[in-house]
Amino acid sequence: MIATQQSLSRSTVARYAVGSLGTGGFATLPGLVLVYYLTESLGVAAFVAGAVVTVAKVWDVIIDPVIGARSDRMLAVRGSRRAMMLVGAVALPVFFLLTFAVPPGTPTWASALWVFLAFLITATAFSLFQVPYIALPAELAVGYDERTRLLTWRVVVLTFAILLFGAGGPALRQLGGGSGFVAYFVMALVAGLVIGAGMFVSAYVAPRQQPAAVLPPRESVLATLRTNYSAGIGALRDSQPFRALLLTFLLQGLATGMMLTGANYIATWVLHSEDAVTLLFLALIGPALVVTPVWGIVARRIGKERGFRIASVLFGIGALSMLLLLWLPGAWVYASVALAGAAYAGMQSLPMSMLPDVISHDARRNGPGKAGTFGGMWTAGETTGMALGAAAFTTVIGIAGYVSGAADPSAATAGITQPTSAVAGIVLAFSIIPAAIVAASLVPLVRYRLRKGDVDDVV
């Protein structure tokens, strides 16, 4: 389905954007507290805790293309993707709460298994919403500029959600006592309801149309899996713009994943301040909130692809400048992080508004009905990049001699020290390595050749 609405209403833009309250919250809060909950509240070994979270991310990568293809079939059969999104919106708060509701006194192995299963189902519920949600812009908005407008406001809400849950999640935990069953139960209950509410409201923006005259044939489970993965590979094979854009976004997810993972280490072992984590977070997200609409203006003036390149270069400069922390740690770093945050807003909003352009371009060349497949591949690529970013950071500091188990900020005041090489590794993994990865991402971006005229010709 390709959009026929020439001008987006404010209601459509707002209802689509509010979905990012859910996607941003789920992307942020588990990453902040889940491993800590496993190790500190449930007594699970750090290696096992890391495996629980990593396997859930790998599961996302496996199922996202399948969900995308099933979303396309649902659109053909029922005329809308809404039902799948609603299932995800209703199920996620329930299993998110269960993830953080392990009864006191449960054996360690059973606690780890409980969290693993609950979080796996939570991640699946999230994908049921997220994958069709990403496919919707091609069905909601016609034209290059209208999609930029739609996705710009989505990223504004996404950035706000990251700030809200990044600061609000730990605050909710403190309201419940700071640790233990009640603290995490209160946090998960409130946060889960807010995440689910944003997703539920946004699901109703999914348009309805007449079901397809000729429905796709029903298949066995194995045949369905084979067909769905073949569809994802086919999307990569048939759409050169999609290959270029997805590889760029995956590499940039790797770079930003490294920096987000490293923020706490920089605060503890380089800036020697427990408050620095919050300040780094505010310095990154605050400018992004303000600057996101500006990137929409830039896209309309010079094109999304050129704006995306500019944002990427600015982010690389901000990251590279933090190499100076090796010799001159200090509060100046917040200015560099603010530059990276302003650029990060463009690195999110512009490629997200380019994706529906790619989908409509492919529909003209190869036929409609694959938006969910593109969305599934996109979500899998994004998840892969962020997961690899965390793995890459820990690999670098491990090689540099980091003393494991000393990442808690309180460790810096408990007599634990890091070797000089480990501190250098933290800085390198936070600065020059992400900057080099972003520079490498410009290579596939140069090969992205869709322009405004190409996209509006589809209309």
Is 372 among the domain residues?
yes
Question: What is the pLDDT, as a whole number, of residue 373?
Answer: 73
Is 294 among the domain residues?
yes
CB-based contact 281:162 (threshold 8 Å): no
90 pLDDT tier (thresholds 50, 70, 90): very high
Domain count across the chain? 1
Is 57 among the domain residues?
yes
d(CA 354, CA 106) in angstroms, rounded, equals 48
Q: Which two tokens stand for residue 393?
A: 């950071």
Does the pLDDT value for residue 403 go beyond 70? no
Q: What is the DSSP string of 291-343?
A: HHHHHHHHHHHH-HHHHHHHHHHHHHHHHHHGGGGGT--STTHHHHHHHHHHH
- Residue 187 is part of a domain; what is its CATH number? 1.20.1250.20
Is 3 among the domain residues?
no
Which domain does 403 fall in, by range?
10-208+223-458
Most confident of the following: 143-152, 313-322, 345-354: 313-322
Calculated CA dihedral for residues 138, 197, 263, 311, nearest 10 degrees: 20
Question: What is the pLDDT, as a whole number, of residue 436?
Answer: 96
Is 215 among the domain residues?
no
DSSP conformational letter for 370? -
Compute the chain's Rg from CA coordinates. 22
Is 359 among the domain residues?
yes
Which of 76, 88, 68 has the alpha carbon at shortest distance from 19?
A: 88
State the angle between helix axes of 108-135 and 82-99 in degrees (0 to 180), rounded to the nearest 10.
Answer: 160
Question: What is the pLDDT, as a whole number, of residue 63?
Answer: 79
d(CA 94, CA 438) in angstroms, rounded, equals 38
More confident residue, 83 or 117: 117
Question: What is the pLDDT, as a whole number, of residue 197?
Answer: 92
d(CA 289, CA 109) in angstroms, rounded, equals 42
Is 99 among the domain residues?
yes
CB-based contact 68:373 (threshold 8 Å): yes
Q: Please give the average per-residue pLDDT across 357-384, as a whole number.
A: 73
Does the pLDDT value for residue 195 go beyond 50? yes
Is 308 among the domain residues?
yes
pTM: 0.71
